[in-house]
Structure 1
């Protein structure tokens, strides 16, 4: 049976994988009680684990170095205590083997090189260019189901990434190009990068660091 992580771990972890998030966003990430989350966030601020930041008209909580280390220790202990390490490592290997394809798809969605400009922005008026990108994302969408099934079968907090990716892709297929790489929305790229951060955090890895 998958293990349910405690609310105090999930609250701190939500800040980690979101990068910056307000109380509402932290609570929504794992479906936690907003009142409990608000109390925990104030406690974590008092402990020096998170700090409040404002940037370009938006604001939220972000981890301090102390909070980053606290999150890392809690996640490591959870893997040890639950025996979920093998499943998470298997899920990460499967994710890594597809990560380059996702990056390529996102690049091709954002850029459409021309003879005059190899970095020309894709205006999405050329369906012949965009169609292979959507097909690539559609294949990744199907493959992500198996990855998330493996991960969520061990730790329930990994559930939902495939559903969110599929929902974003459905918007793209309905004609809204922003949902491939859009920022500030649950786009395909946002969901994928959040899962990547979640896996790195859970396994205690830095980006680009090989898994032992």
Structure 2
């Protein structure tokens, strides 16, 4: 489905999937100019849907509970108008086993890095496990993109993170870059927001 998305919903949903981000990052992920993104954020703030906070020289935007509920309502309307709910639900069911694989691999890696894991886990094993999930996700994403364009790109971002991780393990779970864990987290949030679910 290639309907032109509502830019206000785009920005609202992007803030939801990112969790907390500044204007340049929101604009880049939403595919919108920074100036119009800032204007949309100001409008959403006036509506009580987003809030801006600053701490230790860092500032960013996040969703309010009202904004979360409003976003889910708009996404549900969009999904039902397209007649895409059953297709997206089927994709989500196929996503869940892969989510278990990714969550376990990332958790095992983090524990091993801290020296508290039950067994040693190598970088090669972790990347290989995540790559199997990436390969399986690729076909699911293709099905999702037929229902909503915004789901495009997760597969490429996840695979790119794994390529980096082969030489730099920060790309597995790092929070300061587009790591495999971060990309997968955003994908999961995108799916549950679209379907009005909780983790």
User: Is this a same-fold pair by TM over 0.5?
Assistant: yes
C-alpha distance in 2, partners of 1:75/1:118?
42
Query: What runs of 5+ residues in structure 1 fail to find an aligned partner?
Result: 208-212
Report the Cα offset of residue 177 of structure 1.
0.3
The answer for the alignment partner of 2:60 in structure 1 is 60
Report the Cα offset of residue 21 of structure 1.
1.3
2:26 aligned with 1:26, yes or no?
yes
The answer for the alignment partner of 2:98 in structure 1 is 98
Structure number with greater Rg is 1
Q: Which of 165, 172, 180 is equivalent to 1:172?
A: 165
2:116 aligned with 1:119, yes or no?
yes
C-alpha distance in 2, partners of 1:159/1:201?
16
- Residue pair 2:108, 2:117 contacting (<8 A) in 1 also: no
2:80 aligned with 1:88, yes or no?
no
Query: What runs of 5+ residues in structure 2 fail to find an aligned partner?
Result: none
Q: Give the match's secondary structure for 1:26.
A: helix
* Aligned positions, number: 199
Report the Cα offset of residue 187 of structure 1.
0.4
- Residue pair 2:141, 2:152 contacting (<8 A) in 1 also: yes
What is the TM-score normalised by the length of structure 2? 0.92
The answer for the alignment partner of 1:69 in structure 2 is 69
The answer for the alignment partner of 2:156 in structure 1 is 163
Q: Give the match's secondary structure for 2:122.
A: helix
What is the TM-score normalised by the length of structure 1? 0.87
The answer for the alignment partner of 1:12 in structure 2 is 12
